């Protein structure tokens, strides 16, 4: 495993996007002592030369978005949260541990594989940070999420003092 999170991301072929701007009346994060709370992140991809910022996938799991697509969305939520973490802390190296994730999956009432979707986020954090990336978690179904996102994840990080 790489010696730092930035190297781990590079080895995985992943880049952090610019931190997404809030889409409503909230702030991206709030630091309380050593704890950084990151507002719910949806799988927004940044704007590029040929298209504006947009959702990686949109809709309800599994009828409109497959479990695999929802897992990709969960990984994008992690990248978006790490962009906020880096902007707030100055470096991903400041992370002491990931404390908790709250993963929300927009899904049909009979869908019960929310943990499979959340696992994609949990596994990515463990690959990037090693043992400090392991965390407590909730995986919850919801009838809908903002902007028709299939996944939204909120984060709680502990930073080194």
Dihedral sign from CA coordinates of 87, 91, 94, 99: positive
If you search the block for the tokens 């504006």, which residue do you land on?
52
Instruction: Give pLDDT, residue 21.
Output: 85
Report pTM: 0.96
Instruction: Give pLDDT, residue 55.
Output: 97
| pLDDT over 90 at 2, yes or no | no
Instruction: Give pLDDT, residue 30.
Output: 98
In a 3-state reduction of DSSP, which class is residue 97?
Answer: strand
Instruction: Give pLDDT, residue 3.
Output: 65
Residues in the chain: 161
| pLDDT over 50 at 152, yes or no | yes
Structure tokens at 161: 């003092």
Q: Nearest CA to 27 among 37, 42, 17? A: 37
At CA 44, angle to CA 42 and CA 37, rounded to 5? 40
Q: Are 155 and 37 in contact (CB under 8 A)?
A: yes
In order of start, what are the domains of the chain with their CATH numbers? 5-15+47-159 (3.30.1330.40)
60-85 confidence digits (pLDDT tens): 999 999 999 999 999 999 999 999 99
């Amino acid at each position: 495993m790489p010696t730092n999170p930035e190297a781990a991301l590079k080895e995985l072929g992943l880049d952090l996007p610019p931190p997404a701007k809030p889409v409503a009346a909230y702030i991206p994060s709030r630091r309380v002592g050593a704890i950084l709370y990151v507002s719910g992140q949806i799988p927004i991809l940044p704007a590029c030369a040929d298209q504006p910022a947009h959702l990686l996938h949109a809709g309800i799991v599994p009828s409109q978005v497959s479990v695999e697509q929802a897992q990709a969305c969960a990984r994008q939520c992690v990248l978006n949260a790490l962009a906020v973490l880096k902007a707030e802390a100055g470096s991903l190296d400041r992370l002491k541990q990931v404390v908790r994730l709250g993963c929300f999956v927009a899904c049909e009432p009979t869908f019960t594989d929310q943990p499979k979707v959340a696992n994609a986020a949990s596994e990515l954090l463990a690959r990037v940070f090693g043992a400090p990336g392991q965390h407590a978690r909730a995986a919850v179904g919801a009838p809908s999420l903002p902007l028709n996102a299939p996944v939204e994840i909120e984060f709680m990080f502990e930073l080194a003092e």
